[in-house]
Chains A and B, each alone.
Chain A
């Protein structure tokens, strides 16, 4: 059921040979974390890498596409414990429909004006996922037929899943649930038994 970190570090991970095979075919570096193969490719090879995955590796099933905003200054949520290179990391998971293998492709885009070629020609299902990533992170997908807002109003300004975008409800009223996170007292206080 679960795998400990030491499993994933062991050289004989059951997915290792497949990960190496993908990395060799596509070009890029593979790492395995908790049974999730992540393959890093340069941004200019993004569409080519996914085309190879579909045609040569039989990864025909488009699972999802989204991004992570790696930022040192955050408006909401916890700040990262260690500093990172500020960037947008684009992720796309594809899989096969026989063995249940899946690979998460990853590429780094600039934080400022992220732009990458669209996957709509490779996987038709990328259409909506890219529209969502475009409005939520401000990524421009070159060659996408229609990058209109998917969820948000047409007049909406901003990219809500960027870490620099505040959560407006929190601005109005702090979250009362934050007290739950603090450690419980060891024993009930004896000074004020009625409390």
Chain B
């Protein structure tokens, strides 16, 4: 006897063999603020379950930093650029400060350079952990966020201990660094330095980061749903990635062995030994995998830097009290957690730049959306967008 339940089951298994003529629908996604990515709106033409002509609508977070920089002095600008990519605020400062130092011809003391190196890599670990937390969550796996955010907090605590700021350190000075929460008062005899025990705590934290990486890898790589939703999804060929200016881990996931930490010399990366992580396929899974491996490489860099840092020495080169940058133009770029971040400074010899162009990684990385989302299934839109790891503050500037 055929029951009603059997009929329903049978209907569910029926394959639709005819192409139905359906009317296209315009679907508006966002604008919303899912806490980390920022406010982005997509307008897509939807045909059934597939999206076409995806148009990102930007500007909800545009703060006009390039214009504001024209009326600020160089030391004031670091406070602004902290807020571009707030997930890795510390790393934003480096290319700008190095660019200004290049124009001024200032030699930064070695100890200060190592502190910059340690904190930059910690910012990378924190940023990649944010991705390790949010990406599986967007795909429905809620456990990795617990591991990732716990370790990220440990790293951010260390950054906060040195700089006084968790997200917006504003820590670099032209010619060096200026610890905020150091040990003791600032006098000529005992200048502020790293907090006591910072290096030992850093070593300890790095060990825990590695353990957490293993935990996350077990949780995510062993999750068949995540594998099914990311492997072979959103494949990005290297030529397309390069033409769109895609940089950072997303570019290396497409098989391009290029890392500005090796190609440019803005921090003493030549003093430490680390590998550039490259994947092959360029799908969502590879973009996740590259970032996980990069955390491990960053741990390697931090561990070596902690061993190699000069035990004492000045943290600040001699610079005039009133910073004036000589006339000239310079472009300095750095490998930020999200990709190439650079600053083109046009100086007229004044206290502030005549023009400051901010090249942010997420802006170019996001501009590939119309290409990569063309014809994607609706659920894959989330998987693909999440895998690009952008921050809207870095897009809108």
Interface residue ranges, A against B (CB under 8 Å): 1-5, 33-36, 38, 60-64, 66, 68-69, 76-78, 80-81, 91, 93, 97-100, 102, 104, 123-125, 127-129, 136, 149-153, 160-161, 165, 167, 170, 175, 177, 180-184
Q: Of the candidates B58, B245, B322, B346, which one forms a contact with A123 in the assembled complex, judged by CB atoms under 8 Å apart?
A: B245
B364 touches A64 (CB 8 A): yes
B90 at the interface (CB under 8 A from A): no
**Minimum CB distance partner of A153 in chain B:** B59
CA distance A100 to B346 in the complex (A): 22
Partner of A161, one of B66, B105, B349: B66
The reply to whether A34 and B242 contact each other, CB–CB distance below 8 Å, is: no
Q: Tell which of A93, A104, A127 has the most Cβ of chain B within 10 Å.
A: A93
A66–B67 touching, CB < 8 Å: no
CB contacts between A and B, total, < 8 Å: 154
What mask results when residues 307 to 349 of chain B are scored 1 for a CB within 8 Å of chain A, else 0? 0000000000000011000111111010000001010101011
Contacting residues, chain A, for B36 (C-beta < 8 A): none
Q: Counting CB contacts under 8 A, is B213 at the interface? A: no
Picked from B59, B238, B256, B371, the residue with its CB within 8 Å of the CB of A124 is B371
With both chains docked as a complex, state the minimum distance between the C-beta of A159 and any C-beta of chain B, in angstroms. Answer: 11
Whether A34 lies near B71 (C-beta < 8 A) is no
B160-168, B189-197, B258-266 - interface stretch: B258-266
Given the complex of chains A and B, what is the CA–CA distance between A182 and B351 in angstroms?
A: 10
Contact A184 B321 (CB under 8 A): yes
Instruction: Give the residue name and chain of the B residue nearest to A169 (CB).
Output: B68
User: Per-residue CB proximity of B76-109 to A under 8 Å, as 1/0?
Assistant: 1000000000000000000000100111011110
A-B contact list, 24 entries, CB within 8 Å: A1-B98, A1-B101, A2-B102, A33-B328, A34-B330, A61-B242, A62-B243, A63-B333, A68-B355, A69-B355, A77-B354, A81-B350, A97-B242, A98-B258, A100-B258, A102-B333, A123-B244, A124-B243, A125-B246, A128-B363, A129-B364, A151-B58, A180-B73, A183-B321
> Do A5 and B105 touch (CB < 8 A)?
yes
17 extra interface residue pairs, beta carbon distance < 8 Å, beyond A100-B258, A125-B245: A33-B329, A35-B102, A60-B243, A61-B247, A63-B342, A64-B342, A81-B348, A93-B331, A93-B344, A97-B238, A97-B256, A102-B333, A123-B243, A151-B58, A175-B71, A181-B73, A184-B321
Question: Which listed residue, A123, A167, A182, touches B68 by the CB 8 Å rule?
Answer: A167
Contact (Cβ within 8 A) A64 B245? yes
**CB–CB B243/A151 < 8 A:** no
Query: Which chain A residue shows the least CB distance to B327?
Result: A81
Shortest CB distance A34–B (Å):
4
A150 vs chain B, min Cβ distance (A): 6
